[in-house]
Chains A and B, each alone.
Chain A
Amino acid sequence: MCAQAADGKSSGGLIVEKRTLAENIYLMKVYAPRIAKAALPGQFVIVRASEHGERIPLTISDYDAVRGIVTLVTQVVGVSSRLICLKAEGERLTDIAGPLGRPSEFVHKTPSELMSGHWLFVGGGLGTAPIYPQVKWLHTRGATVDVVVGAKSASLLIFQEEMKAVCRALYIATDDGSVGQKGLVTDVIRRLVEENRQSYDTVVAIGPMIMMKFVAQLAQQYQIPSVVSMNTLMVDGTGMCGACRVTVGGKTQFTCVDGPEFDGALVDFDEAMRRQTMYREIEINGK
């Protein structure tokens, strides 16, 4: 039997470690043995920080089945994410449930397919954290992985050292040029493909929807298949509510059960970005 908390919440939720990665960006290692054991790259958890709190989906940024720990990276963007970020080491998340969603497609590939594969991962802002377990998973299986990370400036860059250790090359783009190339991740991708003549079998992009949209467009231009991880609104995260629906190839899909990863060439990003704003006014002005 797995370890079980006294109140019947099997997944624990104790924050065993908390670090500040950048301004308003925090890393939390959470004791959740069943989730850590079951997790695969690409999956997410649902977290609640208080009894009145919203259910917030967070992509898993790392997991350690032996220690029973999942790593989450969160950023203060609204009321609910602030509540999560305010939790201190030694405190507990009220709820943590998962792992949810389908794992990344590549976990089904054969060892030889992995060994011969060339991946390009693109992480934007907070999206850098969830690409880490994917890059690590592929790297440890002998795949060739390059990583492009984008941030506003050097001070907001996260997971730099961790990432360097598990990829062939790490490229950085910042809006202000404080580190790496000044510009967007797409500028770096262009340089890699057009000037450096790099060829990739797959591009995986995780970050703000607008970034994923342009990375997917560029990948399509180079005829490279792309995968994006949709960070839609969710309530239950288990397929019950449909708040997370996205149009993929003209068909409605539920991010929580059909995704969160989809073919970047087929996602209707404009609709997805609009749907993300559904409750923004209420969140700003109150109920």
Chain B
Amino acid sequence: CGFHLRNALNLPEDLGPVRVLASDPYSPLGELLADGLKRAGAEAAAADATADVATLQVISEQWADTPISHDQFGRAQEFSLRYAVIFSMRRADGSAAVPQQAVELARDYLAPAVDSIGKASERELLVRELRRDMAAAILRRVDAASKPAAAAQ
């Protein structure tokens, strides 16, 4: 039915060495993206390289923890942890390899007010998992946007 094992994660052609730029130098998302690019076969740029090197830039990361259901006394019961990242990827010459766009992921979790004991630790676990899923989602977008078929369209 046409399905085949995936060949390599596609990267924009003639990308050259890539660096990951995040607003916060040690952002975990930045590290995850750098690992992902390395696994996809990209060549990591020298740590201090600033000019004429391709850049995957994490422009902004934002979190929101909003109640999505309340009990009859108005107390929040379920929350949705939402994580949105704006990123863009530019070639060494500054041209856009992947246009600037936003990716948003969300995880719902139960946090009844009566026993909100373990909720802080569940939220920390979800933050780590959302970061890994976000790195995968961004790399999927890089892959899709640099597919030869896409280029042909």
Same complex origin of A and B: no
- Where the two chains meet, the residues of A that have a C-beta atom closer than 8 Å to any C-beta of B are none
